[in-house]
Structure 1
Amino acid sequence: MSNLSNDKSRTDILNRLKRAEGQLRGIQRMVEEGQPCLDIASQMAAVRKALDSTYVRMTVCFMEEQLTERLGDNPKQKKHVDDVLEDMQALLGKVR
């Protein structure tokens, strides 16, 4: 299994997770304060979307690392791989 070795991707994923963590804390506070269920549900949906987006980003990162490992670091191939992965991320993002 591949490790998350790309610093830019790792930072992006960590930032997304920290943002979702903050949203979850906000939801906990809303529950403790007795806020309306509809407001809480709305925030929960936002966190789910943020986590789904992070999962897609992690999946694309994994694919990129695996393809680079298998195909090598040929700049021409890298451009094609980057284009395909960008399209994949857009398509996977629409699945949610």
Structure 2
Amino acid sequence: MVGNDENIATVLNRLRRAHGQLAGVIGMIEQGRDCKDVVTQLAAVSRALDRAGFKIVATGLRECLDKSENASEPLTVDELEKLFLALA
């Protein structure tokens, strides 16, 4: 992954949080917990993963743009848009 140590640490923390939340969801299902509680926690996992993904794209976008300026074929707006939409 590209980026400075602070951005990498932020992404890793978000992924670790999502990992813990997902383990909790698995445990909840195994315990037969209420559907509403399971879905609420699953949504939290999804948000944590989305935020990590957005951070990765935002951090990497700077490098992508810098590299594309020096490349024979710079990234198009459509290509950059696809990076973001892949997470949507």
Same fold (TM over 0.5): yes
CA distance in 2, matches of 1:23, 1:64: 30
Provide runs of 4+ in structure 1 moved above 2 Å.
Answer: 65-71
- The normalised TM-score by structure 2 is 0.69
Q: Secondary structure at the match of 1:53?
A: helix
CA contact (8 A) 2:15 2:52 kept: yes
Root-mean-square deviation (CA), in Å? 2.1
Q: Tell me the equivalent position of 1:57.
A: 55
Post-superposition offset of 1:17: 0.2
CA contact (8 A) 2:3 2:59 kept: no
Unmatched 5+ stretches in structure 2? 70-83
Deviations 1:39-86 (A, max 9, x none): 101110111111111111110011122334567xxxxxxxxxxxxxxx
CA contact (8 A) 2:11 2:52 kept: yes
Unmatched 5+ stretches in structure 1? 72-91
Structure 1 counterpart of 2:19, one-letter code: E
Q: Tell me the equivalent position of 1:74.
A: none
Q: Percent identity?
A: 36
